Amino acid sequence: MKTLTASILFQIFLAFGIAVVGGALSGLLARTHRQLCAFISLGAGTLLGVALCGIAPECLESLRMWEFLLAGASGYFLFALVSKYVYHVCPACAASHFDEATTHRLAEFATAMMFALAIHCTVDGLALAAGNEEATPVRLSIIFAICVHKLPEGLALGALLIGGGVARLKMLWLVAAVESTTILGGLIGWLFLHSASDFWLALALANAAGGFLYLALHAVLGEILKHHKGLVLANFAAGFAAIAGLILYFHLKA
C-alpha cells in the first residue's frame, strides 16, 4: 500500500508540475500559432492513442460493449456540454478558437474558464488514479499521455492569460491553481477507487476515455479545418504511434 500510494502521488504531482512548467515557459515557447499547433497535436495524438489502444481493450475485459460505450459517452458529452455552455475545458485543445479580441476579454469570464478547466484536470487526476490499478501497459500509457498533454495545456493557458493582460507572476499562480485540481482528482480517485471492483474501475476509465476522445478530436479537427494540416497530422500521428508502440512493447515483453 505504501508503494502504491507513493506511485500515485508521484504521478499526479508530475502531471501538475509539467503543466505549471508549461505555463512558466509560455513566454518562451510556442510563440507562434504554428509552434503551438505542433504541441497541441502531439498531445492530442497521445490522448486518442491511450483511449483506443490502452483503455478500451482493458475496459472491455470487465464491461459489456454497451456499458463501455455508455460510460465513454458520459465522459465525452460532459466535456462537450461544459465547453458549449460554460467554457472550453482545455485551453490547448481550444487554442485555435481564440483570436486577439477574445483573449483581451478573458478577464470577463475568468471564473467560468477556471471552473471548466478544473473539471478537465480533475478527470485527468481520476484517470491517473484509476489507471494505477490496471496492467503495466495501460498504466504507463495513461501516465505518458496525460503528462505529454499537460505541457501544451500549460503553455496555452499561460499564453491565453498573458494575452488577456494578466501579469506573468499572477498568470503562473492562476495556472498552478487550476492545475492543482489534477492533484485533487488523483487523491479522490485513490480514496474511492483503490479498493473498487474491476467493474467500477473500468467504468471510471471508460468515462475518462470519452473525455480524452473529445479533447483529441476537438483539438485536431479545429486545427485541420483552419491551419497547418500537414504539421497537425504529422504530430498527431507521432503522438498516437508513441502510445501504440509503448503498449505493444510492454505486451510483447510480458
Supply the pLDDT for residue 181.
95
Supply the pLDDT for residue 116.
84
Supply the pLDDT for residue 5.
72
Local confidence band at 167 (pLDDT 50, 70, 90 cut-offs):
confident
Local confidence band at 26 (pLDDT 50, 70, 90 cut-offs):
confident
Supply the pLDDT for residue 110.
62
pLDDT over 90 at 179, yes or no: yes
Taking residues 14-24, what's their average pLDDT?
91
Nearest to 181 by CA among 249, 90, 120: 120
Question: Could you tell me the three cell numbers for 248?
Answer: 505493444
Supply the pLDDT for residue 1.
43
Supply the pLDDT for residue 93.
59
Local confidence band at 155 (pLDDT 50, 70, 90 cut-offs):
confident
Q: Are 171 and 83 in contact (CB under 8 A)?
A: no
Q: Is the pTM of this model over 0.95?
A: no
pLDDT over 90 at 249, yes or no: no
Supply the pLDDT for residue 74.
96
pLDDT over 70 at 217, yes or no: yes
Local confidence band at 2 (pLDDT 50, 70, 90 cut-offs):
very low
The full set of domain ranges for the chain reads 36-253
Q: What is the mean pLDDT of the chain?
A: 83
> Is 150 or 87 the better-scoring residue by pLDDT?
150
> Is 140 or 113 the better-scoring residue by pLDDT?
140
Q: Looking at 5-14, 86-95, 143-152, 245-254, which range is the least confident one?
A: 86-95
Q: Which of 3-12, 182-191, 216-225 tops mean pLDDT?
A: 182-191
